[in-house]
Structure 1
C-alpha cells in the first residue's frame, strides 16, 4: 500500500470512528456533576469514586466485601474478644482441658459475646441482608443464620440458667466466637489475595489535562481550567500536549498518537476539518480545535459507560462456594424445622428447640468458610509467580471451561509499534547504510507515519542522511526528489508493477505474511532496495495460538486495523476466525453476542478501546504494558505482557477449580453427615450426634481443607 493510499485509508477509518461515536447518545451519570464537564470529573472525583467503589463491588469483583470495612482489623479485634470466650465457655457443652470458669465468668462471656456478635458479625449480617433483598441467599446468609441462632439461643440459655431455674440449658457462645473469627479470617485471606482494583474512572480523568488554552472572543489566548470548557469553544493544542476534549480541527495539521485511546499503533494524520479524540496525544504540529464533546458526550465517557454497564451485568456470575452455601442454607432450614416438629411431638419444647438450634449451628461449617479462600490465596500467589495479577476472585473459577479466547491484535499478538521490520538490498553494488541515506533524504521532511517510522530506524542506526532537493509528493505513487544530482523515487508496489519489475517471492514472503507495508527505492530508475514497515508479530504468538487450539479453546482475533493487515496476521498465526476494522463498541458487541449465545469467552486486550470488551467477557485479561483503563476493566493482568502466560492461567484455573470442588466436598461433606445426625435421625436406635463429636469432626474437616489447599501447584 503506498503512502498516499495508506494515509487515505487511515483517515477514513478515523473519520468513521468519530461519526459513529457522535451518533451514540450515551448518558453517563457519574461523569458529569457539572454540565457534564470533564474538569468537574477531574476535580470532583470523590462522588464518582464512591460510585466506582460501589460498582467495583457490584460487579462481583469483591463479591461479599460490600461494606466490610477493614477485615484485618476486624479479625484481630474479634480474636482478642473471642479468646476469653473460648477459654471460659464449654465447646458445645463439653469442657476442654484448657478451660476454666470462676464466679461471674458467665457474665464476662455474655458481654464479650454480645460485643463480638455486633462488631465481628456485622459484615455477615449486612451481607445476608443484601443477599435476601436480592432473593439470593448464599454464603453470607448461611453464616448469618449460624451466628444469629447461636447468639439468640445462648442468650436464652443464659437467662434460663440464671433466672428461670430450669435444668441446665446448653449455650453456643463457643461456636459463635470460633465461627465469627474463622469466617473473618477466610474473608481477610481472600481480600488480601485479590489485588485491589483502583478506579478506572479516575484513570480516565487522568488522561485529560487540568488546564487548557482557549482563544477568547477578542482572539486573545487565555489559560482556563478544563471544567470551564464548553462546546463550541476554540482551544489551542500545542505539540506533545494531550487533547483536552473531543473536537474538530479548525487550523493546522499534525500527527496524533491515538494508541492509548483506540489501540491503533500507527500515528494518524489529522488535518483541518478532521476530528480528534480527548485523551489522545498531539504530535509535532500546533492545532486549533473547536470543542465538539465534553463530559458525558465525549468519547472517553462513552467508553466508561460501556465498561460500567458490562461490569454490572457480569456480576450475576455466581461463585461456586455461594452455590454450595445456598444449597446448605435450604437443607439446614428444612432439616432444622423438621427436627423441631418431630422432637416436639416425640419429646418436649426444650428438647425440640435444642435439636433445631444444633442443626442450624452445625450447618454453618468452619471448613466451608476457609475452603475457598485458602485455595484462592494459594492460586493467587502461584499466579503472581507466573506473571499474572488476579483482580477478581471469580476469574479463576470462570476460566476453567472456556469456549473461545478473543485476542486484540495490536499489542497482544503484535508488538504494537509501527516500525521498520526489514530492509532488503536488491542491487548488487549497494549497501544497506547507503540505501538508507537516500531513503532518509526524501523521508526526512515528510509528515507521515511511514516517514516517522523510517526516520526513527535511521536515527537508531546513527546514519547521516543525505540532502534532498526538489521534493515532491506524487499522489498514488510516493515521494520523489533529487539527491547527489540523481533522480530518486520511493514508490509503492503498484508503481513497481507499472514499471514491470518484480522482486523474488522468497524475499517478499516474510513481510507479506505479516501484513507489512512495503516501499521501494529507485535511483535513476534502477530498483535499489525495499523497506518494509509494520507491526511486528510477537515471536511467541504462533506457538501460543497452537497451544490454545490443543486445549480446545478457539482463538478469535479482533482488530481495528484494515482487512488486509488483519488477514495477513491471521493466516500467519493460523487463526481461522477474525474480525477487522472494529470500533471499540464493535469488540464489545462481538463479546456480547458470544456470551449471550451461552459461550464462555475470555478477552485479551491492552487499549482503552478494549476496556468495554474486557469488562463484558466472562474473563477479561489485560496486557500489563497496556493502558491503566484496560487494566482496571479486566479481571486478570499479564504483568510480563507475554501471551504465553495465559496458558499458565488456563492450567492454573483447571487445577484451582479441582481443588475448590475437593475442598467443598470436605467442607460440606461434614454437613451431609452431621446435619441428619444432629437432627436426630438415628435417635430411635440411640445414636444422637453429641455436640462434642460434632465439634471434633468440624475441626478435622477444617484441617483437611487447609492442607488440601496448600498442595495446589501449576504443572509446567
Structure 2
C-alpha cells in the first residue's frame, strides 16, 4: 500500500494573498473595496468559469447573462423574420418569399439594427479573442456576419443606385445571427448558473463580534473593525470570526467544513482556532492572530480564485475546430480573391471570397455542441447530476484518476455512534447505554458528545453517576447503580488482561471506528463504537471505478489511522492523510501539470481549491455551498455511484460532440474548395444556393444526432 501523510503547521498555511474578504478587516480598504476586489478575481457568478477569460459561453461579454441571450434571441428573431421573407437565400428565391416596392429599404434598415443589436455579443467576443491572439468560434461568427453585412450593404448601393445585379447576403446575416444566439441560449439554459464561491466563503464569517475593551468590558463591533491582537469572546454555537489563540476557556470545535477533520477537536488555552470553524458548547476568549489577507479563509479564497483562473485556460473542442476553420477560411477566401482577380474581374473575385467566408461559417457549428450539452444535461439531471460547467462532460471523457475526499464523500461526514454490543445476557443494549451515559454525561470531549446525542435521539435516559473521575490515558470511572463502572480504551483493556471476541469488533475496526469498552467490577460487559460511517455504496463505487481503469486516490484532512482503516476497507491503494486545503490543491495541481486527467470529489470548504484546480470538480450535494460553487458537477443525491453515471455519460457525450462537429464543419472540406473555385477550369463551381442547402442539411443532421444521446445503466 502506498500511503503518505502530509502534516502542516500554521506557518505552512501561507499562500498567495491578494484578496480581502467580506467581514474581514484590512487597514487600507473598507468593506466595499474588499467585496469589489473579491469579485474582480472571479467572474463566474453567471458565466461558466472554465471558459477563456473574456470568453464565457464561447466568448460572450461578461455582462451577457442567460436572460440577455433569451431577450436578444427573441428580439433578433422578430427583426429577422421580415428579412428572411423579403430577401433571397444566396440569390435563390424561396416559395414563401415576396417583395414590394421599397422592400429592399425595409430589409436594409432591419439588417442594420439586427447586425448592431444581435451581432454585438459576437463582435465583442471576437474582439476579445483577437486581443488574446486566440481566434475561435466568436471570431468565425463575427467574420461571417460582418462579411455578409458589409458585402450586402455594397450590394444594396450597387443595385439601388447603379442598377447593377450584385447578389446580397441579408438572408444569411439574419439566419446566422438568430441561430447562433439560439445556440448560446440553449446552452446556458441547459447548464446551471454558477453562484459565486468566493462570496459564499466570505459569508462564513459573522458580521458582528464581541470584543473585550481595555477596561475588561464587552462591546459589539463589526468584523471590519477587528485588528490583530484584539481580544474576542466566542460563545457556544458561534462561528470563529477570525484565526486566533485561545486565552480563556475550553470547548469542542467543529472544523469539519474547514479542514476536513470529521471529529470535533478539543480546544484549550494556547490552542489555535480557525476563522469559519464552529464553537461547541463552551465559551472562550481568543487573541486575534489573522484578519484580512492573513486569515485562513482569505487564503483559501485566493487559492480558489487562482485555480479557477488557471483552469479557465482550457479550450473547448468546438473552439479548437472553429480556430482552424477560421484560418482555413481566411486563407482560402484571400487566395480565391487573388486567383479570380487574375482570371476574371473584381466583382467576381469579391463574390467568390465572400461566398467562401459565409459558407465557412456554418449554422450547424453553432448548434453542434449546445444541442448535445442540452441533451446530456437533461440526462444528467435524471441521474442525480447537475452540470454547472458546460465543458464538464467534454473534459471528463477519459479520466486517469478520481481523487476523493473522505469525510462526507466516502463517509457520512458525522462522528456518531455506529454500534452498541453487550457481552452478558443480564444486560441488554439499552442498559449498556444507560451505564455508559452515566459517566459520559458530564464529560467534555467528542466521544461523550456523540454518545449523548445518540441517547437523546433514542430517548434513553442515563443512570446517575457518583464520584466520577477521569483516568488519564485510559477513560472514565465512577459509581453507578451502586457498582464500580469504568469506560476504557483498547490499550487499558489489554493491560488488565481482558480479551475481547475479535469477531465482535472486526467490523468496527475495518471502518476505523473508535471503540470504548464498558467494565462493571472489572468485568467486560459491553462496548460502544463511534465513527464516521462509510457510505453503503462506497465500496461498490471504488470497485467499479477500478474496473474502468480509473485509479481512486483518497485525500483527507483526517488523521493517519482513520484514513488507513477506511482505505484498507474500501480497497484504495493510495491515500494522503492530515491534509490542509493547500496540500490537497498542490497534489491536484501536480497531477494536472503532469498531464493527468483528474476528477476531484469533495464536500467541504477545504476541498474548494482542489475542486477548482482539478480537470473536473465534483461536489457532493449535501456539502457546503463553497464546495458546490467551486465544482463543475454537483451530485444532488450525494451518492458516489452517480459519479459512474457521470463518467459513462461523459464518454457518450464526447462521441456525440465529435460526430456533430464533423457534421457541422466537416462539409467545409468539400464546400470551401468548391466555393473558392478550384474546379472552375472543369466548369464546376459551387452555387451559393447549393452551399446554403448543404448548411441547412448539416443543421438538421446535427439536431437529430444530438437527440440520440443516451447512457446505459
Distance 1:652 1:715 in 2: 9
1:52 aligns with 2:42: yes
**How far 1:150 sits from its partner (Å)?**
0.7
- Which residue of 167, 170, 174 corresponds with 1:173? 170
**How far 1:520 sits from its partner (Å)?**
0.8
1:65 aligns with 2:60: yes
CA deviation profile, 1:66-111 (whole Å, cap 9, x unmatched): 3335100010111111111111111101111111111111111111
Cα pair 1:248 1:289 within 8 Å, conserved: yes
Cα pair 1:409 1:559 within 8 Å, conserved: yes
Q: 542-551 vs 242-251, which deviates more?
A: 242-251
Cα pair 2:50 2:391 within 8 Å, conserved: no
**How far 1:443 sits from its partner (Å)?**
0.4
SS at 1:519 equivalent: strand
Q: What residue in structure 2 maps to residue 27 of structure 1?
A: 17
Q: What residue in structure 2 maps to residue 387 of structure 1?
A: 384
**How far 1:562 sits from its partner (Å)?**
1.4
1:692 aligns with 2:682: no
Distance 2:612 2:34 in 1: 25
Cα pair 1:38 1:226 within 8 Å, conserved: no
Distance 1:256 1:79 in 2: 58
- TM-score normalised by L of structure 1: 0.95
Distance 1:456 1:48 in 2: 39
Distance 1:107 1:136 in 2: 37
- Which residue of 427, 430, 433 corresponds with 1:433? 430
- Which residue of 149, 156, 159 corresponds with 2:157? 159
CA deviation profile, 1:23-63 (whole Å, cap 9, x unmatched): x1532235379953799558963563465326865642745
SS at 1:651 equivalent: helix
Cα pair 1:237 1:287 within 8 Å, conserved: yes
CA deviation profile, 1:538-571 (whole Å, cap 9, x unmatched): 0010110011011111101111111111111111
1:154 and 1:63, CA in 2 relative to 1: closer, same or farther beyond 3 A? closer
Alignment RMSD (CA, Å): 1.9
Q: What residue in structure 2 maps to residue 5 of structure 1?
A: none
CA deviation profile, 1:244-302 (whole Å, cap 9, x unmatched): 11111111111111122122221111111111111111111111111111111111110
For residues 669-684 of structure 1, what are the structure 2 equivalents within 5 Å? 669-684=666-681
Q: What residue in structure 2 maps to residue 18 of structure 1?
A: 10
Cα pair 1:379 1:712 within 8 Å, conserved: yes
1:632 aligns with 2:629: yes
SS at 1:534 equivalent: strand
Distance 1:594 1:284 in 2: 41
Q: What residue in structure 2 maps to residue 351 of structure 1?
A: 348
Cα pair 1:513 1:571 within 8 Å, conserved: yes
**How far 1:316 sits from its partner (Å)?**
1.5
- Which residue of 119, 124, 127 corresponds with 1:126? 124
SS at 1:168 equivalent: coil
Distance 1:389 1:38 in 2: 40
1:663 and 1:234, CA in 2 relative to 1: closer, same or farther beyond 3 A? same
1:43 and 1:30, CA in 2 relative to 1: closer, same or farther beyond 3 A? closer
1:396 and 1:544, CA in 2 relative to 1: closer, same or farther beyond 3 A? same
Cα pair 1:263 1:606 within 8 Å, conserved: no
Q: What residue in structure 2 maps to residue 225 of structure 1?
A: 222
In structure 2, the gaps of 5 or more residues are: none
**How far 1:163 sits from its partner (Å)?**
2.3
Cα pair 2:19 2:37 within 8 Å, conserved: no
Distance 1:222 1:39 in 2: 23
Cα pair 1:42 1:205 within 8 Å, conserved: no
Q: What residue in structure 1 maps to residue 104 of structure 2?
A: 106
CA deviation profile, 1:181-211 (whole Å, cap 9, x unmatched): 0000001111111101111121112111111
Cα pair 1:62 1:392 within 8 Å, conserved: no
- TM-score normalised by L of structure 2: 0.95
Distance 1:32 1:488 in 2: 51
Q: What residue in structure 2 maps to residue 547 of structure 1?
A: 544
CA deviation profile, 1:469-527 (whole Å, cap 9, x unmatched): 11111111111111122211111111111111211221121011111111111111111
Q: What residue in structure 1 maps to residue 310 of structure 2?
A: 313
Cα pair 2:20 2:35 within 8 Å, conserved: no
SS at 1:715 equivalent: coil
- Which residue of 315, 335, 338 corresponds with 2:335? 338
Q: What residue in structure 2 maps to residue 136 of structure 1?
A: 134
For residues 587-606 of structure 1, what are the structure 2 equivalents within 5 Å? 587-606=584-603
1:153 and 1:647, CA in 2 relative to 1: closer, same or farther beyond 3 A? same
SS at 1:29 equivalent: coil
For residues 660-675 of structure 1, what are the structure 2 equivalents within 5 Å? 660-675=657-672
Cα pair 1:85 1:112 within 8 Å, conserved: yes
Q: 497-506 vs 64-73, which deviates more?
A: 64-73
1:272 aligns with 2:264: no
Distance 1:645 1:73 in 2: 35
- Which residue of 84, 89, 92 corresponds with 2:87? 89
Distance 1:626 1:34 in 2: 24
In the comparison of the two structures, how many residue pairs are matched? 701
SS at 1:422 equivalent: strand
In structure 1, the gaps of 5 or more residues are: 1-11
Cα pair 2:261 2:557 within 8 Å, conserved: yes
For residues 177-196 of structure 1, what are the structure 2 equivalents within 5 Å? 177-196=174-193
1:43 and 1:138, CA in 2 relative to 1: closer, same or farther beyond 3 A? closer
Distance 1:458 1:264 in 2: 23
Distance 1:17 1:252 in 2: 23
Q: What residue in structure 1 maps to residue 468 of structure 2?
A: 471
